[in-house]
Structure 1
Amino acid sequence: MQTKHILLGILACSLAACSKFVDLAPISDATTENAYESASDAEAALVGAYDVFQQEYYIWDNINFSDVLSDNYYSGGDNPELFAVDLMNITPVNSRLFNNWSQIYTGISRANIILDKVPQITDPKLNENNRKEQVLGEAAFLRAYHYYQLVKMWGGVPLVLEPVTSADPAATNKPRATEAEVYAQIIKDLEFALTRLPDKFGDDASVNKARATKGAVNALLAKVYAQKSDRDYNKVLEYANAVISSPAGYQLINFNYLFDGSHYNNDESIMELQFTGGAEANWGPQLILPPSISGDSWRKFVTPSKDLVKAYDTEGDTVRKAATILFENVSWTDEFWAIGGGDVPFAWKWKSANGWASTNRQYIFRLADIMLLKAEALNELGRTAEAAAPLNDVRARVTLKPTTATTQAAMRLAIEKERRLELAQEGQRWDDLRRYGRAEAVMNGLQEIDLRTNQRVNYNMTKEKELLPIPQLERDRNKQLSQNPGYL
């Protein structure tokens, strides 16, 4: 069954990648100068750049390497490499590391080609309505977003900013840039994009939510300035406010509508993956949804943790719990919930499997996330009383009472918990724990009991584990890559 998952995942990604003119240099022989002559060439290349969001990392492993790696979810399923993620025993030879690394760099490569080739296109159609500059802005945003994924997971990584035109290792093998250098490049790309992208491309939400806009750029800038080690909360506040006050008119909606499958491209959405079925489908829901919905009888992945369920119950957060977690009786053994079968929770923000061809989506950015970042920024800037307002707005829409936190320390914990309950299964938790400096305390303080042994799980979390090991396959290929501390 594990092999079935892998093959279907590869098939889904391959169909998405081959359905359009996306396999550009250096991935295929389409890298000739005359491949980039017209406006349609530029648009086709941009479609290919966006299609990277349909690869496995952005569908699936962004959840595993955030929510499963943290206190939110167990790995579930039957994949030893995901068990290692869950138990924080990740080694450089874990193949998922190399897959993720390669897929993200594929996205960077496609963005690099656009940024290099599109300025040379003289087709007058590309200059209509400032379209050439918009294409470049979208490509710069995408490159920044991919580097943001890399730097969060690995720290400093090689900065590849031009198309690779030679197979010579001297041209392709680069040493790691520092973490600060990677973040500086991300900010440079986002500032470039911000001057070239509109608040909206028109009145069609399926276009505005699918593509990079000013709202998406400002959202990513807010997250970048919060996440980098020398964080700047004045900048976080500036860019969060730009999102909240955007002419695009983002606003909170009914929490249930966010995940019922019928209200995508909604007013709260800033940017989201656009799965429409067929070759453009999301195969992830089949891996996590219960037998009554998926039609499968095998053990599912991304199982909500007892600690996450407790967090919802302690807060009395019935609205978000019901939209995020579904319990169902199963026949298999779950080492944390039921030996020999019983009631087990399932990740529930995706709700339709549709035989490996779901149209359920992930949000890349949504307003509540940015509002809570604003609350965080205000609190860290010593404006704790003001921080309560955006926090309470997020709480009010799920019928929770205003926060009782009044000190900066109490507010910090309140915001962290709110983000956990609001954004579970959305690939945010690990970033939050590291940003708050709480990853070690939280993971080592968990009281998770393996029912097979009745022993508490020891996650042995250390500071070094906040970063992943550089994939061994990539280090074998590129001898200039150093390993992160704590790994062999």
Structure 2
Amino acid sequence: MKKIIIPCSILILFLEASCVKLNPQPLSFFAPENTLVDKAGLEALLVTSRKQIKWEWFGDAFDAGTCRTPLVYEYAFSDMHVMGGPEAKEIHNLETQLTPTTNQNLHLTYWDLGWNGIKYANTVISRIDNATFDTEADRNAILGEGYFHRAYWYYLLTHQWGDVPLILEEITGPKLDFVSSARKTVLTRMKEDMEFAVQWLPKTVLPGAVNRAAGEHLLTKIYLSLGEFQKAVESATRCINDYGLKLMDTRFGVNAGRTDLDVFNDLFKEENISASENKEAIFVVQERFGIPGNVSDNGSARKRNFVPYWSNGAVVKTPDGKQGTTYDAAPYPGYELLDSLGRGIAKIRPSNYYQYEVWVNAATDIRYNKNNWYDKSRLWYNRPASNNKGGSATWFGKPIQRQYVQDTMRCYFSFPTVKVLIHKDDINKGKTPSGGFTDQYVFRLAETYLMRAEAYLWLNKISNATNDINTVRARAKAQLLSTITLEDILDERARELFLEEHRKVELTRIAFIMAQLNRDGYTLENFSTKNWYYDRVMKKNNFYATQYFYSTNAFVMKPYHVLYPVPLTAITSNSQGHINQNKGYPGSETNIPVE
């Protein structure tokens, strides 16, 4: 077998924290020979592994020099959203802006997060036989969670970059001869590890730790990726039936007595996500104000990243030509719009597919009611005439008129409040509230049902798949479906799982399945030039499909963007070997076959 060597930049990650700011017990990593010798020491390192996953959801999306909220990319390069803002800061044209040498911000997010996560997991796994435990169950539970964290990151990396190095042991010194493996080879090993893990992970854990149901959920994702659909049904069924989980279909939590709210709103109330009465949570990460171990000083930043730039009065005009909105914190009437929405700047904005199409028949769907969805028609002119730049006395307090908004791309769109408007903690009060601290679902039972529905669909068991989707829809009080297609599953995932699923990863996973099955002319041989992911985005995302021109750049995507470019620095620094570049990007002409 020919060998491909992984880059030096990855190797450095195995020795340093790179851009990821860690805050573990100091000795648990820097003096492993003293601390990783028993259950307590290895559990301390698992805390670092759990913290690594938190980086995906919290902080401002593009703070300079940080690795925060990379999940933004999962939506911006999908059917559901694109980047907002000018191309000087955001990626619009993937052909010119997403290359092996440009936009290192992407390379410094999931690329580094993934290899760091694998590093920490491998340290636990490699040290397991040198540690002492009271029982075999204690040992294997620690090992099982180590396998979980390694498989979690490999699942993402293999659907973001494709063929990646399979690193299965702790790296204790400089090493420049790593071997890359085929995506299928990596996922097959992760499947074997997780089959062991689900036998030993504890059924009950404290919120933030990994339980057996989380293992089953991840194993289902891996089975789907490998085309082992019956096994995916079986692992999903165990997750649904065997661990005391259920979809929450009755009111619960701190707002249970409020008749104006609903159970979907309860699910995302900050205090309810980790509550013991919430039987739908499978795996959560916790970001709490003032608690050591946070990855962000200012919490989620979701109001900033995902809310429209409604307060930009320079472009949100009144019909009589005045500036219509403001985020000014002075005590003017109308300031409450800032209190409720924060000062969004639209890091991403929805496509017509997510903003309109999936909600066409949503009359009774509670996910689309005023508790959980903010329609842009509810925005109103909040700059009073007494403001120093002079609002409109005539239009103050009235709905914003779309035809007078000079930038509807960034300043005027609808969004899901239930996932975005985090109000907790005083740190997010004042002139520029960006979004407070909250726990976050990584895995939730609703997704398990939708994954099982997909597995049934691949098995051509349409009635079973329909039943699973309808279970989720019934809780949402949505109209039940008589039969379903793959599009119905993806639509339901869009409605249910915004800011929970890795949207691009899941689309790429399906693209690989289509190619593996040789469906609709898709093959693995022509994956970079014809794939289901690209066709899906072109069908559903109006911005990429029309190459919509915004600011000074168009939104452009090509079929090869189904996979990201390997950073050039990763290739050139790998002095003793060769790592493949994904097809379509410069450097791929020197690729070597992998196994």
TM-score interval for Structure 1 and Structure 2 normalised by the shorter chain: 0.7 to 0.9
1:302/1:347 contact within 8 Å kept: no
Change (3 A) 1:299 1:239: same
Kindly indicate whether residue 37 of structure 2 is the aligned counterpart of residue 37 of structure 1. yes
Q: Please give the residue correspondences for 1:335-484 in structure 2 after superposition, counting only pairs within 5 Å.
A: 338-340=405-407, 343-346=412-415, 348=417, 349-352=419-422, 354-355=427-428, 358-405=436-483, 411-437=485-511, 438-445=532-539, 446-448=541-543, 459-462=556-559, 464-479=560-575, 480-484=578-582
Counterpart of 2:439, as a letter, is R
Deviation at 1:243, TM superposition (A): 0.8
2:24/2:45 contact within 8 Å kept: no
Q: Which residue does 1:275 correspond to in 2?
A: 287
* Structure in which a larger fraction of residues adopt helix: 1
Q: Which residue does 2:209 correspond to in 1?
A: 211
Q: Please give the residue correspondences for 1:17-416 in structure 2 after superposition, counting only pairs within 5 Å.
A: 17-18=22-23, 20-21=25-26, 24=29, 30-56=30-56, 60-77=68-85, 80=88, 82-84=90-92, 89-93=97-101, 94-99=103-108, 100-122=110-132, 126-127=133-134, 130-167=137-174, 171-201=175-205, 207=206, 209-228=207-226, 231-253=227-249, 254-265=263-274, 266-278=278-290, 279=292, 280=294, 282-288=299-305, 290=307, 292-293=338-339, 297=343, 299-316=345-362, 318-322=365-369, 323-325=372-374, 327=376, 328=379, 338-340=405-407, 343-346=412-415, 348=417, 349-352=419-422, 354-355=427-428, 358-405=436-483, 411-416=485-490
- Structure 2's unaligned 5+ residue stretches are 1-16, 60-67, 250-262, 308-326, 328-337, 383-401, 429-433, 512-531, 587-595
Task: State the alpha-carbon separation in 1 of the partners of residues 435 and 360 from structure 2.
Answer: 36
Task: State the alpha-carbon separation in 2 of the partners of residues 11 and 172 from structure 1.
Answer: 17
Task: State the alpha-carbon separation in 2 of the partners of residues 128 and 330 from structure 1.
Answer: 65
Task: State the alpha-carbon separation in 1 of the partners of residues 32 and 472 from structure 2.
Answer: 51
Change (3 A) 1:88 1:134: farther
Change (3 A) 1:143 1:432: closer
Q: Which residue does 1:487 correspond to in 2?
A: 585
- Structure 1's unaligned 5+ residue stretches are 1-9, 25-29, 202-206
Task: State the alpha-carbon separation in 2 of the partners of residues 358 and 154 from structure 1.
Answer: 32
Deviations along 1:156-197, one digit per CA (max 9) or x if unpaired, are 111111111112xxx244132111111012112212211211
Task: State the alpha-carbon separation in 1 of the partners of residues 374 and 490 from structure 2.
Answer: 20
Counterpart of 1:351, as a letter, is L
Deviates more, 1:338-347 or 1:310-319: 338-347
Task: State the alpha-carbon separation in 2 of the partners of residues 11 and 184 from structure 1.
Answer: 29
Which ranges of 4 or more aligned residues in structure 1 deviate by more than 6 Å? Answer: 85-88, 449-456
Task: State the alpha-carbon separation in 1 of the partners of residues 47 and 346 from structure 2.
Answer: 32
Change (3 A) 1:304 1:466: same
1:21/1:48 contact within 8 Å kept: no
1:416/1:432 contact within 8 Å kept: no
Q: Secondary structure at the match of 1:127?
A: coil
Deviates more, 1:182-191 or 1:435-444: 435-444
Counterpart of 2:580, as a letter, is S
Deviation at 1:283, TM superposition (A): 3.5
Identity of aligned residues (%): 23
Counterpart of 1:423, as a letter, is L
1:303/1:347 contact within 8 Å kept: no
Change (3 A) 1:213 1:36: same
Q: Which residue does 2:392 correspond to in 1?
A: none
Change (3 A) 1:311 1:63: farther
2:36/2:42 contact within 8 Å kept: yes
Task: State the alpha-carbon separation in 2 of the partners of residues 249 and 238 from structure 1.
Answer: 16
Counterpart of 2:139, as a letter, is K
Higher relative contact order by CA 8 Å / sep ≥ 6: 1 or 2? 2
Deviation at 1:13, TM superposition (A): 5.8
1:391/1:415 contact within 8 Å kept: yes
Deviates more, 1:273-282 or 1:42-51: 273-282
Task: State the alpha-carbon separation in 2 of the partners of residues 64 and 248 from structure 1.
Answer: 32
Deviation at 1:77, TM superposition (A): 4.0
Task: State the alpha-carbon separation in 2 of the partners of residues 452 and 338 from structure 1.
Answer: 17
Task: State the alpha-carbon separation in 2 of the partners of residues 306 and 362 from structure 1.
Answer: 26
Counterpart of 1:403, as a letter, is L
Q: Secondary structure at the match of 1:250?
A: coil
2:203/2:243 contact within 8 Å kept: yes
Q: Which residue does 2:254 correspond to in 1?
A: none
Deviations along 1:199-253, one digit per CA (max 9) or x if unpaired, are 213xxxxx1x42211101110111111124xx11111111111111123333344
2:24/2:48 contact within 8 Å kept: no
Deviation at 1:81, TM superposition (A): 5.6
Deviation at 1:297, TM superposition (A): 4.6
Task: State the alpha-carbon separation in 2 of the partners of residues 307 and 270 from structure 1.
Answer: 29
Deviations along 1:44-86, one digit per CA (max 9) or x if unpaired, are 2221222212335777544223211112122224564632477
- TM score, norm. by length of structure 1: 0.82
Deviation at 1:329, TM superposition (A): 5.6
2:128/2:139 contact within 8 Å kept: yes
